[in-house]
Amino acid sequence: MNTHADPYIESDFTDRQGAVLEAALGLLVEGGEKAITTAGIARAANCSKESLYKWFGDRDGILAAMITYQASKVRVSARLGGPSQSAEAFRAELEVFANDLLTVLSGETSLALNRLAIGQGSREGSVLGNLLIERGRKTVRERAMVLLQSGQLAGVLRFDDRAAAFDTLYSLVVGDFHVRMLLGETVPALRDELARKEHVEQAINRFHLFYSKDHMN
């Protein structure tokens, strides 16, 4: 679900290490956390357990590396089109963002990693949870913030608290779909394309109802 915007945080993983983490992610997606055994990863990735411990320290290190690796892989296309846009163009951009967000969140790998972090937490200060929030959610947030900013500059939106506006947008788009998917439910509104399109449109409509200049209450 993630990228990292921090320029000085880079995925210092070699190709081999990346391949190993890829295999580990495959195991995770298929079998959940219990499937992530050091022996299992070594077998799936054709590497030695000794290398695993040399590269990642211990099992928890492997889990953390899986998150940062996936985050570095799913880089978000910034795609910010300057501040001069029509209301329609901006609305379309918002819809694209909402769709991307739902696509990422409903992805198998994202769900598996979130389940992993949630399952581990909050034991040990929820290291994985923090990692996931830091590397995943914050980049989505930043992309959205840029988007909202440009909407404001274009005169389409109006708000005092941009962060609050983002929270609203996120709530309207995602709702409790995320938790339900994490619990194993197949959310109907996300399965077929039509229902999903309708949902996104309604969410964006309502967002505009709150924050567009025409609809201020």
Per the listing, tokens 């918002």 go with 94
* Region from 54-62, 107-115, 141-149, 178-186 binding DNA, contact rule CB under 7 A: 54-62
Closest CA to 75 of 146, 140, 26: 140
Residue 12, interface with DNA (CB under 7 A)?
no
Considering CB distances under 5 to 8 angstroms, the limit depending on partner class, which of a copy of itself, DNA, none binds residue 54? Answer: DNA
Choose between 36 and 200: whose C-beta lies nearer to DNA: 36
Residue 123, interface with DNA (CB under 7 A)?
no
Give the tokens for residue 114.
């979130």
Choose between 10 and 108: whose C-beta lies nearer to a copy of itself: 108
Give the tokens for residue 12.
């210092």
Of 23, 62, 65, 116, the residue at the interface with a copy of itself (CB under 8 A) is: 116
Of 10, 32, 49, 123, the residue at the interface with DNA (CB under 7 A) is: 49
Of 58, 60, 167, 192, the residue at the interface with a copy of itself (CB under 8 A) is: 167
* Region from 38-46, 70-78, 100-108, 165-173 binding DNA, contact rule CB under 7 A: 38-46
Give the tokens for residue 92.
């379309």
DSSP of 19-69, one letter per residue? HHHHHHHHHHHHH-GGG--HHHHHHHHT--HHHHHHHHSSHHHHHHHHHHH
Cβ of 34: how many Cβ atoms within 10 Å?
Answer: 10
Strand partners, 27: none
Residues within the interface to DNA (CB under 7 A):
14, 16, 34, 36-40, 42, 45-51, 53-54, 58-59
